[in-house]
Amino acid sequence: MRKWPTQLGRLAVILGCCAALLAGCGKKADQPAVSRGQVIARIGNEVVTNQELENEFRWANVPAEKQKDPEIIRQVVSQLVVRKYLLQQALASKLDREPGVLLDLLRSREQVLENAVVMRTARSKSPTKAEIDRYIANNPAKFAARKLMQVEQIAFPLGPSTQSVIDANRDAKSLDEIDQQLTAASVPHGRQNGVLASGDLTPDLFRSIEARKADDVFFVRSGPNGVFFKVKAEEPRPLEGDAAANLALQLMRADAVKAELGIAAYSANLEAKFEGEYAQIMQRGEGKKD
């Protein structure tokens, strides 16, 4: 019981230091932005700069040709103005000093820096033209043998109650039957036509589709949803030239990012020294992976 005040005191010191660190970083970040960027709006003591607007375009993936569109500018600037206004309200209420909020701010800072170092490392290993050509040749379903498939599909949110329906319909031959079972199980779902590109499928699934029979139904997981689908038609749609090279570069960079994250995870676990009960917990976790 006597240790409790000491622990609280340590937490207060740690959070106080974190607050000072964030405040210092905030000042350093704000001052260059105002001096370098043109101020396009003022909200009390806060400003919106042209540099911040351009950064919002980057985050939203707004194409360069759309960045001069008055309607898009109005939308993005309005969002920035609201953010700055609410920032003022939060600072006036001293929310930035609350332990929970402060920890969230630190977490956001760590995530931004984590992504920055991974992206920089991945981009520093830019593939050569020969490597891009080899990637294209090794992935025909994404490029030379690429196909677009017209499908009829049933999509539904995945959950504990849907696994039994998925298992029962592994060998289904009719979307009508699956539709009826989902309805009987009170699982919300939608049925519609769609398009799938062979390059978006796993090699095993694409091979299964290529060898399909007329009544075969397939199942895939797509994010939080499950999708049963039947292929109705397909047509060759090869990707060649600059379009193929650009897509290959994007895919290779995504693979490079995954590789860097894997290396970082391995290195971090080698360097980490877990303490107390967490040493045993983490050691057991590593044993299960083996």
Q: What is the DSSP string of 220-250?
A: EEETTEEEEEEEEEEEE----HHHHHHHHHH
Q: What is the DSSP-derived secondary structure letter of residue 151?
A: E
Does residue 289 surpass a pLDDT of 60?
no
For residue 129 the two structure tokens come to 């033209």
pTM: 0.66
The radius of gyration computed from the CA coordinates of the chain, to the nearest angstrom, equals: 26
Of the pLDDT bands very low, low, confident and very high (cuts 50, 70, 90), residue 286 is low
Encode burial over 76-90: b for 16+ CB neighbours within 10 A, e otherwise: bbeebbeebeebeee
The answer to whether 67 and 75 are in contact (CB under 8 A) is no
Angle between helices 99-124 and 3-36 (to 10 degrees): 50
pLDDT of 24 reads 47
For residue 34 the two structure tokens come to 């105002």
Using one digit for the tens of pLDDT, what is the confidence trace for 236-273?
999 999 999 999 999 999 999 999 999 999 999 999 99
Using one digit for the tens of pLDDT, what is the confidence trace for 190-221?
999 999 999 989 889 999 999 998 889 999 99
Q: Is 165 helix (H, G, I), strand (E, B) or coil?
A: helix
Return the beta strands (E) in 146-200 as ranges: 147-157, 190-197
Q: Could you give the C-alpha distances from 32 to 38, 49, 106, 252, in angstroms and in order?
A: 11, 11, 21, 35
pLDDT of 47 reads 93
H or E element, residue 42: strand 39-43
Using one digit for the tens of pLDDT, what is the confidence trace for 143-201?
999 999 999 999 999 988 888 889 888 888 899 999 998 999 899 999 999 999 999 89
The answer to whether 222 and 152 are in contact (CB under 8 A) is no
Mean pLDDT for 17-23 is 47
Using one digit for the tens of pLDDT, what is the confidence trace for 63-112?
999 999 999 999 999 999 999 999 999 999 999 999 999 999 999 999 99
The answer to whether 93 and 236 are in contact (CB under 8 A) is no
Q: Could you give the C-alpha distances from 14 to 19, 22, 28, 33, 275, in angstroms and in order?
A: 9, 12, 21, 29, 19
pLDDT of 160 reads 84
